[in-house]
Structure 1
Amino acid sequence: MIDEKQKEISIVVPLFNEEENVEKLHAEILQVCRNNHYLFEIIFVDDGSTDETFERSKTLSPLKIIRLRKNFGQTAAFDAGIKSAKYNYIITMDGDCQNDPNDIPLLITTLEKNRLDVVSGWREKRKDTLTKRFISRGAHTFRRFLIKDHIHDSGCSLKIYKKECFDGLSLYGEMHRFIPALLMGSGYQVGETVVNHRPRHKGVSKYNWKRAIKGIVDMMSIAFWHKFASRPLHFLGGLGLLLIFLGFSTGAVTVYNFLTGQGMSETAWPLLTVFFFLAGVQFFVSGLIIDVLLRNHYETTQNQVYSIKEIWQNNASENK
């Protein structure tokens, strides 16, 4: 059943050198929110822009601007904006005008109609360059092999979340595109819907091979945590026990060879026995240590990896 009450939404947009796009994007978001009578806030996160992004954004209203001290990356920018959001529905989108704000009502409807916690946009007909599509396609194939979250387009920033999804969620690296996978692993209900994708309005794309490689590394990390987040001892301890078992097996062969008269210096079995046994003990003990560290980590406040320079808020004509 769709909730007919007035929708309360926070729209979070990270920006890095998007001076030519901020006015257009803000106007489009504002029009959608007013046409649908939303109670809303727009949050721009200036991720260390070196152009006039911040200055041009200050002329817009209503708007909250979170200005980071330097370029910390899109994940950090999303995290800063999300933590500042005050409404129950949080919508994220890119600042290059390729995501279409007119899809916001569709995201809300899909979330409520299907009783989901997260809805991810799916850019079925992408308007990117051939190089960007090639990199994204390769990363997507690798991601689905590792994570198996059945999301067609994890790289699409246009998403809607219930605010509760971010309680205790730590974001770092290039993990913003894997938030649905992380939440799915925690039991949240995740869905997707096809959204519009437009050619870049102005400016230059910030996506490159460097970001793709970082994303793949984070993807492998998520694949590990997907299975062993709560108890890494299950992985490291299991591997350690396997190596210890191999150590005992090669040790048995070593003893047999010794009893049949073969010299210890004539075979590699003794060295293999020592190697497997010591490596197994090391993995097992490492698993125990990491288990203890994780328990302490979960019980303490997590530090953010970015620094906020200032917060600018212009509430003139808010929600009018």
Structure 2
Amino acid sequence: MKYSVIVPVYNEQDNVKKLHQDIVTTMSGLDDDYEIIFVDDGSSDDTVTRLQELSRLSIIQLRKNFGQTAALDAGIKLAQGEYIITLDGDGQNPPSEIPKLIKTRQDGDYDVVSGWRAQRQDPLMKKFVSRGANVLRKLLIDDGIHDSGCSLKIYKKACFDQLDLYGEMHRFIPAILKLKGYTVGEVMVKHQARTSGISKYNWKRTIKGFLDMIGVWFWKKYATRPLHLFGGIGMLAILISFILFLFVVYQKIILHIDLSNSILTEITFFVFIIGIILVIFGLMSDMLSKLYFGTSKDRAYSIKKITKK
């Protein structure tokens, strides 16, 4: 199997039929084997009924609405293709753009190619929030692409051999894979206005996405060395407490200042204790990190190719 097209859907009863037809039309023109997987994320409308009327597709039904990331993960784990192609179920990602992704991946020998919606057909507020998130993403994790939120992407299936998705991580997959050494490319794609249904994005998903962004940033910089972060802050706190201690001694012994009504000694002691706690926490986190990489399928590295002669 060459390609697996994965489409997570949630309450998209009016969009799935046309979207499926467009995918079949596009993929049938590639002369390669493919499969189509729709993942219903606990829809409460007739999305599943509409999907069951179609042919040449697999349908995964989640028991409830777990979120887009979970739906993608379920589809990826079922996929048999050498390459994974993902797109939204709202019809805003035209399947006719898939050949662009394939060609860009082949030309650049990329592991991942992400679509870039240079001319987005979304409400003004959604575009504003998305651009703000892109600025933060560039500052924190800098995955080298313009539009990580675009669901139209192609991946080598091997990218997910050591990757499980959770939270709102789907938009940060290129950043996570780049962290692991995979190559990431980008190509401009068309973006269509939604014609049916309503957008599932809201302020809750924005907050969750921001928190996941911080998580990816931490994982990128300190996954294999948390002691460097917590221990470093702890040692800084201990140094500050030592300087405060010298200042207290100077005031008490040299200047003969009565410190009985001052909280400076309490602050010094408090900062010192916080520093010790952070160092201990860093040591514990370091041990947990080693335990995680030692017992899970995840690795702090990825192998591109092995050549034997």
The two structures have a TM-score, normalised by structure 2, of: 0.92
Q: Report the CA distance between 1:296 and its aligned residue.
A: 2.7
- Distance in 2 of aligned mates of 1:164 and 1:35: 25
Tell me if the contact between 2:90 and 2:194 (Cα under 8 Å) persists in the aligned partners.
yes
* Match among 254, 263, 278 for residue 258 of structure 2: 263
How far apart, CA to CA, are the structure 2 residues paired with 1:286 and 1:267? Answer: 30
Q: Which runs of 5+ in 1 are unaligned?
A: 1-6, 303-320
Matching residue of 2:58: 64
Per mean C-alpha deviation after superposition, the further-off stretch among 127-136 and 14-23 is 127-136
Identify which range, 136-145 or 11-20, moves more after superposition.
136-145
- Whether 1:274 and 2:269 are equivalent positions in the alignment is yes
**Pairing 1:197–2:197 present:** no
User: Unaligned stretches of 5+ in structure 2?
Assistant: 298-309
Determine if the alignment matches structure 1 residue 53 to structure 2 residue 54. no
CA distance in 2, matches of 1:26, 1:293: 45
What residue in structure 1 maps to residue 306 of structure 2?
A: none
- Which residue number corresponds to residue 293 of structure 2? 298
Separation of aligned partners in 1, 2:99 and 2:200: 28
Q: 1:286 aligned to 281, 284, 288, which one?
A: 281
How far does the alpha carbon of each residue in 1:120-151 deviate from its partner, in whole angstroms, 9 at most, with x for none? 10000111122221221222222222222231
Q: Which residue of 1 aligns with 2:18?
A: 24
1:124 and 2:118 matched? yes
Identity, % of aligned positions: 52
3-state SS of 1:151 partner: coil
Matches within 5 A, 1:299-314: 299-300=294-295
3-state SS in 1 of match to 2:260:
helix
2:61 corresponds to 1:82: no
**How far off its partner does 1:231 sit?**
1.4
Cα deviation, residue 301, structure 1: 5.1
- Structure 2 CA distance for aligned equivalents of residues 160 and 243 of structure 1: 46
Inter-CA distance 56–299: structure 2 relative to 1 (3 Å threshold): farther
Which of 95, 99, 112 aligns to 2:93? It is: 99
Q: Distance in 2 between matches of 1:296 and 1:24?
A: 48
**Equivalent residue, structure 2, for 1:4:** none
- Check the 8 A contact 2:116/2:147 in 1, yes or no: yes
Structure 2 counterpart of 1:229: 223
Contact map agreement 2:223 2:289 (CA 8 A) in 1: no
Q: CA-atom RMSD, angstroms?
A: 1.5
Matching residue's letter, 2:289? L
1:298 to partner: Cα distance: 3.2
1:186 lines up with 2:180 in the alignment: yes
Aligned to 1:155: 149
> Residue 253 of structure 1 contacts residue 269 of structure 1 at CA under 8 Å; is this kept in 2?
no
CA distance in 1, matches of 2:275, 2:228: 13
Aligned residue pair count: 296
Structure 1 residue identity aligned to 2:139: F
